[in-house]
Amino acid sequence: MVSKKVFEELDKLRVALRKHNRLYHVLDDPEISDAEYDVLFAKLLEIERQYPELVTENSPSHRVGAERLDAFETVEHRSPMLSLDKCTSTSELIDWETRALKYLGQQQALVYTCEPKIDGVAVSLFYAKGELVSAATRGDGRAGEGILANVRTIAAIPLVLSGDNTPREIEIRGEIYMPIAGFNKFNSQAQSQGKKLLVNPRNGAAGSLRQLDSRITAARPLTMYCYSAGYYSADWQPKSHWDVLMQLKAWGLRVNQETQRVTGIDACTNYIDKILARRDALAYEIDGIVIKSDSLEIQQKLGVLTRSPRWAIAYKYPSQEATTELLSVDFQVGRTGAITPVARLEPVFVGGVTVSSASLHNIGEIRRLNLRLGDKVLLRRAGDVIPKIVKALGDNDSNVNIEGFEGSSAENMINLPDLCPSCGTSIVLAADEAIARCPAGLQCPDQRRESIRHFASRLAMDIDGMGDRIVELLIEQELVETFSDLYALEVSQVAQLERMGEKSAENLIQAIEASKSTTLARFIYALGIREVGEATAVNLAAYFGDISALKNADLEQLVRVEDVGEIVAANIMEYFSNQSAWLDIERLRQAGIYWPDIQAKTAHQPLQGQIWVLTGKLTEMPRAKAKAALQQLGAKVASAVSSQTDCLVAGEKAGSKLSKAQSLGIKIIDEAEMLNFLGRESARQA
């Protein structure tokens, strides 16, 4: 006999778990921590383990599917799942309204709801007595595939509706989709594991729902926005579409908060423009806006054409995908010698612009995509993202495009050239690497050009007016070969360049002169050492204080700098081991490039020569600020604790660095002590 207490406890747990599940997944507003949720969940599992007879289909424990299907059953929809009429311009939208008003014999503006048209998979959920009993895809509109086991794994979909006013039966419609962040994360994982990538979030959602093993679905980042009710029993009588949405929300379903109720078509076009402007910032992909007449009575009057209702229309945005043809592949040489294949495409309009080329990143990408010249390809340009070939269309599978592979024909194969397209040096492709490189460094004209462009760029030496074209001309005319050559240029030399007058030449020379006053961090960044970006350059400058110290640093010293791992350290050492690179740096110094001596900035430097490490969470002062303050006082701030460390500042939840410092007997202070010390020192300075 199961005691009443157990029943009550079980019920309480299920109610609580449903509530917290909804707060977290539907309302984005959790009230308890994940750990607290886990405790409740574990309690439920424990009771269900003890009393298996009390386990119900819709218990919160029953989400993660263990079911394996052989095929999807057919599920008939109680009311058909319609599709939408489409339009792509304001005038078409106005025509649609005009037709509707005429049909209604009415002149007065209509009330509409405007909703983003989510790019996912249309799904119908069937709830009986508030419990989810079936879920199906749209199929042919009359019947679809039963995907309940998979749908149950989606945390944002309630297994039981909340509230005591749920109708006896209801079909709830909406779109299951994969948020962009989840899609990107999935793909970057798949890429690093050499697995197949998802083409777009919509395919990601569709593929996830089509799994026969619902454990796979459970591991995919899926969620749902509900946008209408299909059939519902007569014990529910909503008056407007807006009421429907508000009620769905109250029952615990996710409803898009961008949805708006407006009056008149002008307000709709405003909405369309406003959402389009924010399209790239949304957390999900949309392909347009759905506009629906809000009153259910008017919907009823307007009725349905063959497949789509007269009371709704989809305004389509420009597509973010298009198919085009791969015409040729060029190989370009980047600043660091990386050989980048660039696809030349039959121009195509996608994501609001015309695209005629797309980077293929590296030869590995060509192999992954199994691309051949002349292929039809699927091009995607979502958000402000650069266009990307996501797929070769057609049957390339039996025709793998690697040299020597059976089935590949010589003419349409894309092969890495043997020689650098810029300087003719043999290209190097390490066996385990996807990136091929020209090893010629600054001897290679393209690398030279890109290096000098980088050197002069805004975040580096910031030479105003030194555009790409001018760099190209200076190199073509053999006026510049190395960085230091820039500082030897004369007005007369620059003035004779194409489209350069005396005046602009003077300006450029002045800008070159002005760039001499810089910072060590900018200078390090300008050198273009592989994988040394601005942030790393700042850390290196702060740590070493001058360029010779950086040049002479060994691996052990370099990896102590924040952000610097062994690969970056090796790149730095390789850079400075190059005689001519160092010679050019010396010439630059002689030409008058200077930066304020970081160490000399503050006269009073009580921490001169000391190495400090910050660890854990600082709550009072941002870490970057603390670091700068310590550096001001002469300290070097390192990222790892070693026997060289003088002091460790341990913030909240400090971990391994703290224990290491303890074991090495290094001085340890907390944030408050550090602040005290900094406060006293700044008082002294003042």
Task: List the one residue from 47, 82, 180, 262 that touches ligand IVH (CB under 6 A).
Answer: 82
The minimum distance between CB 124 and ligand IVH, in angstroms, equals: 10
Among positions 217-236, residues that touch ligand IVH (CB under 6 A) are: 227-228
Distances (CA, A) of 543 to 601, 615, 635: 14, 17, 9
Among positions 122-151, residues that touch ligand IVH (CB under 6 A) are: 122
The minimum distance between CB 174 and ligand IVH, in angstroms, equals: 8
Cβ atoms of 378 and 321 closer than 8 Å? yes
Cβ atoms of 559 and 536 closer than 8 Å? no
Query: Which of these, 459, 609, 451, 441, lies nearest to 537 by C-alpha position?
Result: 459
Asked if residue 309 binds ligand IVH (CB under 6 A), the reply is yes
Q: Stretches 79-87, 90-98, 128-136, 621-629: which one binds ligand IVH (CB under 6 A)?
A: 79-87
Asked if residue 209 binds ligand IVH (CB under 6 A), the reply is no
Q: Give the three-state DSSP class for 98.
A: helix
What is the distance, to the nearest Å, from the Cα of residue 247 to the centroid of all Cα atoms in its chain? Answer: 33
Residue 138 to residue 64: CA distance in whole angstroms: 23
The minimum distance between CB 236 and ligand IVH, in angstroms, equals: 18
Cβ atoms of 378 and 393 closer than 8 Å? yes
User: Between 149 and 314, whose beta carbon lies closer to ligand IVH?
Assistant: 314
Residue 585 to residue 598: CA distance in whole angstroms: 19
Q: Stretches 57-65, 308-316, 321-329, 481-489: which one binds ligand IVH (CB under 6 A)?
A: 308-316
**Which contacts qualify for 326-329: CB closer than 8 Å, 24 or more apart?**
326/371, 326/372, 326/373, 326/374, 326/375, 326/376, 326/377, 326/389, 326/392, 327/373, 327/374, 328/373, 329/360, 329/366, 329/373, 329/414
Asked if residue 175 binds ligand IVH (CB under 6 A), the reply is yes
Residue nearest to ligand IVH (CB): 122
Residue 372 to residue 414: CA distance in whole angstroms: 6
The minimum distance between CB 163 and ligand IVH, in angstroms, equals: 23
**Residues that are catalytic:** 117
The minimum distance between CB 362 and ligand IVH, in angstroms, equals: 36
Q: Which residues contact 406 (CB under 8 A, 6 or more apart)?
A: none
The minimum distance between CB 214 and ligand IVH, in angstroms, equals: 22
The tokens describing 70, both together, are 């052989």
Among positions 227-286, residues that touch ligand IVH (CB under 6 A) are: 227-228
Among positions 609-638, residues that touch ligand IVH (CB under 6 A) are: none
Task: List the one residue from 10, 44, 47, 84 that touches ligand IVH (CB under 6 A).
Answer: 84
Cβ atoms of 263 and 97 closer than 8 Å? no
Among positions 409-448, residues that touch ligand IVH (CB under 6 A) are: none
Asked if residue 83 binds ligand IVH (CB under 6 A), the reply is yes
User: Between 82 and 475, whose beta carbon lies closer to ligand IVH?
Assistant: 82
Residue 58 CB: number of other CB atoms within 10 A?
Answer: 17
Among positions 329-358, residues that touch ligand IVH (CB under 6 A) are: none
Identity of the amino acid at 15: V
Task: List the one residue from 290, 291, 564, 581 that touches ligand IVH (CB under 6 A).
Answer: 290
Asked if residue 296 binds ligand IVH (CB under 6 A), the reply is no
Asked if residue 205 binds ligand IVH (CB under 6 A), the reply is no
Rg (CA), the chain: 32
The minimum distance between CB 144 and ligand IVH, in angstroms, equals: 11
The minimum distance between CB 208 and ligand IVH, in angstroms, equals: 16
User: Between 175 and 446, whose beta carbon lies closer to ligand IVH?
Assistant: 175
The minimum distance between CB 170 and ligand IVH, in angstroms, equals: 16
Q: Give the three-state DSSP class for 108.
A: coil
Q: Stretches 307-315, 389-397, 414-422, 598-606: which one binds ligand IVH (CB under 6 A)?
A: 307-315
Residue 530 to residue 282: CA distance in whole angstroms: 34
User: Between 97 and 175, whose beta carbon lies closer to ligand IVH?
Assistant: 175
The minimum distance between CB 207 and ligand IVH, in angstroms, equals: 16
User: Between 119 and 584, whose beta carbon lies closer to ligand IVH?
Assistant: 119
Distances (CA, A) of 636 to 425, 459, 536, 539, 657: 42, 24, 15, 10, 17
Cβ atoms of 669 and 649 closer than 8 Å? yes
Q: Stretches 77-85, 141-149, 445-453, 586-594: which one binds ligand IVH (CB under 6 A)?
A: 77-85
User: Between 312 and 509, whose beta carbon lies closer to ligand IVH?
Assistant: 312
Using DSSP bridges, classify how beta strands 260-263 and 86-87 pair: parallel, antiparallel or unpaired. unpaired
Per-position x/- string for 94-123, each x denoting binding to ligand IVH as judged by CB under 6 A, each - no binding: ---------------------x-xx---x-
Q: Stretches 78-86, 205-213, 315-323, 634-642: which one binds ligand IVH (CB under 6 A)?
A: 78-86
Residue 198 to residue 178: CA distance in whole angstroms: 11
Residue 247 exposure: Cα atoms within 13 Å on the Cβ side: 18
The minimum distance between CB 524 and ligand IVH, in angstroms, equals: 50
| Total binding residues toward ligand IVH, as defined by CB under 6 A | 14
Residue 292 to residue 312: CA distance in whole angstroms: 4
Among positions 368-397, residues that touch ligand IVH (CB under 6 A) are: none
User: Between 227 and 576, whose beta carbon lies closer to ligand IVH?
Assistant: 227
Distances (CA, A) of 615 to 415, 559, 563, 608, 675: 49, 16, 14, 21, 15
Query: Which of these, 83, 69, 95, 70, lies nearest to 152 by C-alpha position?
Result: 69
Task: List the one residue from 156, 161, 312, 322 that touches ligand IVH (CB under 6 A).
Answer: 312
Residue 69 to residue 74: CA distance in whole angstroms: 13
Asked if residue 457 binds ligand IVH (CB under 6 A), the reply is no
Q: Which residues contact 412 (CB under 8 A, 6 or more apart)?
A: 372, 373, 374, 375
Asked if residue 560 binds ligand IVH (CB under 6 A), the reply is no
Interface positions with ligand IVH (CB under 6 A): 82-84, 115, 117-118, 122, 175, 227-228, 290, 309, 312, 314
